[in-house]
Amino acid sequence: MNAVKRNRFVYWLGRAVAGLAARLLFRRTMLRNEIKGKKGPFVVIANHQSALDFVNLIGATRTPMTYVISRSFFNTLPVKGIISRMGVIPKQQFQTHIDEIRKMRAVIASGGILAIYPAGLMTEDGLSTPIPDATYRFLQWLGADIYVARASGAYFVLPKWGKGVRPGRTYMDIYKLFGKEELSEMSLSRIRELTDEAMQFDAYEEQERLRIKYRRGNVIEGLENVLYVCPHCHREFTMRVRDKSVIYCTECGYAERCDEYGFLHRESEFGEEVRHVSAWSRGIYEALRAKMERGVEDVIATGVRVQMIDPEKNKFADAGEGEITLSRYGFRFVGTIRGEEKDRVIGISNFASLPFKPGRYFEIQHDDDIYRCYPEDGRMTMKIINIVKIFYEQSLFTIHEIKGQ
C-alpha cells in the first residue's frame, strides 16, 4: 500500500521551482551524488541548516522523494493544498504517532524514497541540533539502505535568527552511509556513533575552510536573540546590535563586529575575541548547564501569550494566556485557553528541543495540539530552549549509563 498520494505534475513543478532557488539563492554545487538515477527503496537523512534545505535535495534524483515535514509548518502553509499534492508526510516533531510511522514504513515497502531531517529543527547558531534517541532505532527498523545528504554553507544563506536571504555558494554531498544488511546487524550505539559523525556540523568551522562570501553576510540583526549572554561580563539579555553588524553589551560595552564571511572580530578595547557564533553560543549553553547541575536555574517561569492553529485560516491565532513554568518534570501551564481555565503539565522527556523563533516564541506540542507561546520578554525564548536541550542531554546520559552504552 502506498504511504501517500502524489500528483506527479505538481511534484515536478515544485521540483523545477526548487531547482531554480537552488541555483539562484543557494548556488548549490554537488560534490557527490550517489542517489542520482537510483530508484528506491532507500532513506535519505539530511542535516538541517536552513528553512529551505529541501530545495538543495529535491533535484538530486529524478525519482520522486517523500519528505517528512513538521505538522506545524504544514498546517500553516498558505499553499498547503499544493504541498500536500507533492506527497509529503506531516509529522509532530519529537513525537511518534502510529499512523505517521505506518506511512513512512509504507514508502519503503512500496519501493519509494523517504527523505528525513532527523534533527527536526534547523540550527540557530551554526551547530547541529540534537537528534532524538529514538531516531537511530527507527532507521534500523525501516530495513532499508540509508544515504546521507550533507549540506554545507546553507546556514549562512538563510540564518534562523535573521531576515531575508543572503545568496552565496553552498555544497551538497550525498553518499551511502549504511546498507540494510549491515544496519540490521549493527548495535544501536554504533548506529548512533556513525550517524552523528555524518550528520553533526559546525557551520563556522566549515566556513574557515570554505571561505565563502555571502551577500549581506555581515548583517547580524537578530543574532542578539541567540547570543543573549555577554562573554565578558556574563550578564543576560544585555546584548544589542548597532550599525547592522556590531553586537555589543549595554552593561560593560564589550563589542564585536561581523565581517562578510560571518566571522566576529573584537571591536572593544577589552575582552577576549570570540570569532565564531557557534563558540559563543556553546559557551552560553555550557555555563547554563553547569549552573543547572549545581541546582541553580533548573526552574524557570514566565508569563506567556498563547496561539493555536486556526484550521479554517491555516495560521496561528490568539488562544489564551497564562504562566508557564519549566522544570525537569516538564512544562506546567496555568491560565486560560480558548475561554477555559487550564492547569496542564506536559512532559518533555522526548523533546530534544522545541520549534522556536529566537526572540519571539517557542512551541509545545502535546498530542494533536500545538501551543505557540510568546514570553512576556521574547529574549527568554533562547534560554528556555537551552534548558530543554540540557534536560534532554541529562536524561540521555542517565539512560545510556543504565544500559551500559
pLDDT band for position 402 (cuts 50, 70, 90): very low
Tell me the C-alpha to C-alpha distance, in Å, between residue 201 and each of 110, 125, 167, 250. Answer: 33, 11, 20, 32
Entry pTM: 0.91
85 has pLDDT over 90: no
DSSP codes, 253-293: --EEEE-TTS-EEE-SSSS-----HHHHHHHHHHHHHHHHH
Tell me the C-alpha to C-alpha distance, in Å, between residue 202 and each of 120, 146, 233, 292. Answer: 17, 22, 26, 25
Burial of 181 (0-12, 13-18, 19+ CB in 10 A): exposed
6 has pLDDT over 50: yes
84 has pLDDT over 60: yes
The radius of gyration computed from the CA coordinates of the chain, to the nearest angstrom, equals 21
The stretch 81-105 carries a mean pLDDT of 83
pLDDT at residue 145, as a whole number: 97
The stretch 162-178 carries a mean pLDDT of 95
pLDDT band for position 400 (cuts 50, 70, 90): very low
The stretch 1-21 carries a mean pLDDT of 85
DSSP codes, 346-357: E--TT-S---EE
pLDDT tens for 222-261 read 999 999 999 999 999 999 999 999 999 999 999 999 999 9
Amino acid letter, residue 164: G
Q: To the nearest whole number, what is the mean pLDDT of the chain? A: 92
Q: Is 124 helix (H, G, I), strand (E, B) or coil?
A: coil
Per CATH, the number for 300-403 is 2.30.29.30
Q: Is 386 helix (H, G, I), strand (E, B) or coil?
A: helix
pLDDT tens for 361-390 read 999 988 778 999 999 999 999 999 999 999
**Between residues 158 and 366, the one the model is more confident about:** 158
* CA angle in degrees (0–180, nearest 5) for 91-96-98: 95
| Contact status, residue 233 vs residue 251, Cβ threshold 8 Å | yes
121 has pLDDT over 80: yes
160 has pLDDT over 80: yes
Q: What's the grid cell of residue 221?
A: 540583526
359 has pLDDT over 70: yes
**Between residues 202 and 79, the one the model is more confident about:** 202
| Cross-strand bridge partners of residue 337 | 320, 340
CATH architecture of 8-210: 3-Layer(aba) Sandwich (3.40)
Q: Are strands 113-116 and 246-249 parallel, antiparallel or unpaired?
A: unpaired
Those residues whose C-beta lies under 8 Å from the C-beta of residue 157, and which sit 6 or more positions away, are 25, 26, 50, 165, 166, 167, 168, 170, 214
Structural domain boundaries in the chain: 8-210, 223-293, 300-403
pLDDT band for position 96 (cuts 50, 70, 90): low
pLDDT band for position 1 (cuts 50, 70, 90): very low
129 has pLDDT over 90: no
Least confident of 69-78, 148-157, 172-181, 288-297: 69-78
| Residue 80 C-beta-side C-alpha neighbours within 13 Å | 15
What's the start-to-end Cα distance of the chain, in Å?
Answer: 37
| Cross-strand bridge partners of residue 373 | 306, 362
How far is the C-alpha of 145 from the C-alpha of 135, rounded, in Å? 15
Site of grid cell 535573521 = 162
pLDDT at residue 74, as a whole number: 77
| Contact status, residue 67 vs residue 26, Cβ threshold 8 Å | no
